[in-house]
Amino acid sequence: MNFSYSSNWKKQSKWNISLFADDVKIIFEPLENGKIITKNEEIEINPSQEDIKFKPGFYAQISHFLENFVKKSEKKWPASDLEDHKKSIKLIEEIFLKI
């Protein structure tokens, strides 16, 4: 699968993200709303009521933090701990050495 991402950080208008792969395009414009476009369909990605009221994604991040860390419950994806990070760094180093 090919994947590409480009951005213009100095762009003065609202930010957007466009992701392109072989058979799919994902567009967030503005960042709060998105759509997944394939050959056969177009799926809207809409913000939750919490995202509308607060900063998009912020409510979910805080909820996740409270559930996983403050309440000390079992870590659920996408949470990770130090051991997960060590594994990721090792994998990145292995990939980097092969380039």
Res 80: pLDDT: 67
Give φ, ψ of 85 to 5 degrees.
-65, -40
Q: Average pLDDT over the chain, rounded to whole?
A: 77
Sheet holding 17-21, edge to edge: 3-5, 17-21, 24-28, 34-38, 42-45
- pTM metric for this prediction: 0.47
- Is residue 37 predicted with pLDDT exceeding 90? yes
pLDDT of residue 35: 93
How far is it, in rounded angstroms, from Cα 88 to Cα 64?
Answer: 21
Taking the alpha carbons at both ends of the chain, their separation in whole angstroms is 19
